[in-house]
């Protein structure tokens, strides 16, 4: 389908207020800034601390962003949950709001589940949502979920639900796996997003449609720039620049690090707040992070 979502998407970080509640004002402001910098919104994903949020909170965040003038066709909210009722509610809400798609984790609490069980979860989700307009993107993140979405499972789901199964975010962190997906589904109506901009150039050269990356929260314009100019002579240099920023953030817990940077550059300390079990970066970690980013001439431009 030519109207499917493409490009760079950010799994939008979730701000919290002084009482530890989701700060909807800061959230919407950050969403607006991301869109202004050319990236789509994959809020309620891993880096949104979505699995530390209640269903009610996630629905409030959906309502807050859907009620703005931001285009839902540039949104791919996370709707995964271990229980089907929650996944169905979130998926139906996003689909009926006109979102380009939903990014859906497998049920991740139980380990060593069968492929048949995973198939039935996704099949039941699609059937219960019951919307022809549903475009579901599988969320493969075994380093965190510890649950694999295998290529045979993708093939089976795609055969059963060719209109609803739209693609996958591969956050395996393993280029060989991403490459295998790209090769296997190159002639299918199935879109593949690497889960890091580290694989953006290689991904695009092999048929990927963009990336969904944590650091798009803080480096959106530069990642978007590579997406737009990956055919150019500068592409390798642009990728190297992205890698340097990404590597810097990966030295720390990613979510607290991104929030610390937003708080620092906005001069808004509340942005550094995280929800347990995460903790904020120590003062020494923050100083080291900011110093290295300054060396790289990093700036949270235009926020």
139 a catalytic residue: yes
Say if residues 199 and 8 touch (Cβ distance below 8 Å). no
Could you say which of 137, 139, 227, 252 is catalytic? Answer: 139
Q: What number of residues does the chain have?
A: 303
Could you say which of 122, 137, 169, 259 is catalytic? Answer: 169
Q: Which of 153, 144, 119 is nearest to 49 (CA)?
A: 144
Q: Say how far apart CA 21 and CA 81 lie, in whole Å.
A: 21
Burial class (CB in 10 A: 0-12, 13-18, 19+), 176: exposed
Q: Residue 29 corresponds to which tokens in the numbers above?
A: 């402001």
169 a catalytic residue: yes
In eight-state DSSP terms, residue 147 is -
The total of other beta-carbon atoms located within 10 Å of residue 300's CB is 16
Q: Residue 111 corresponds to which tokens in the numbers above?
A: 């380990």
In eight-state DSSP terms, residue 107 is P
Please list the active-site residues. 139, 169
């Amino acid at each position: 389908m030519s109207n499917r979502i493409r490009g760079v998407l950010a799994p939008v970080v979730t701000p919290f207020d002084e009482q530890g509640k989701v700060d909807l004002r800061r959230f919407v402001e950050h969403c607006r800034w991301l869109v202004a910098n050319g990236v789509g919104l994959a809020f309620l994903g891993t880096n949104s601390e979505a699995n530390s949020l209640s269903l009610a909170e996630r629905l409030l965040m959906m309502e807050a962003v859907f009620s703005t003038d931001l285009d839902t066709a540039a949104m791919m909210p996370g709707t995964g949950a271990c229980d089907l009722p929650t996944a169905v509610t979130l998926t139906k809400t996003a689909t009926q709001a006109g979102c380009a798609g939903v990014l859906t984790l497998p049920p991740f609490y139980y380990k060593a589940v069968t492929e048949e069980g995973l198939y039935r979860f996704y099949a039941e989700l699609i059937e219960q949502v019951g919307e022809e307009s549903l475009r579901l993107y599988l969320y493969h993140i075994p380093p965190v979920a510890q649950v694999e979405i295998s290529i045979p499972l993708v093939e089976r789901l795609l055969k059963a639900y060719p209109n609803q199964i739209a693609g996958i975010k591969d956050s395996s962190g393993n280029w060989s796996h991403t490459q295998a997906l790209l090769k296997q589904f190159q002639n299918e109506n199935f879109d593949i997003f690497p889960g890091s901009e580290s694989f953006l150039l290689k991904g695009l050269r092999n048929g990927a449609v963009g990336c969904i990356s944590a650091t798009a929260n803080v480096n959106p314009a530069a990642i978007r720039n590579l997406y737009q100019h990956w055919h150019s002579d500068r592409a390798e240099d642009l990728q190297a620049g992205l890698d340097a920023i990404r590597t810097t953030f990966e030295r720390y817990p990613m979510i607290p690090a991104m929030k610390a940077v937003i708080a620092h550059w906005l001069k808004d300390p509340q942005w550094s707040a995280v929800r347990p079990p995460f903790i904020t970066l120590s003062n020494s970690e923050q100083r080291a992070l900011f110093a290295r980013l300054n060396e790289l001439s990093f700036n949270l431009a235009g926020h």
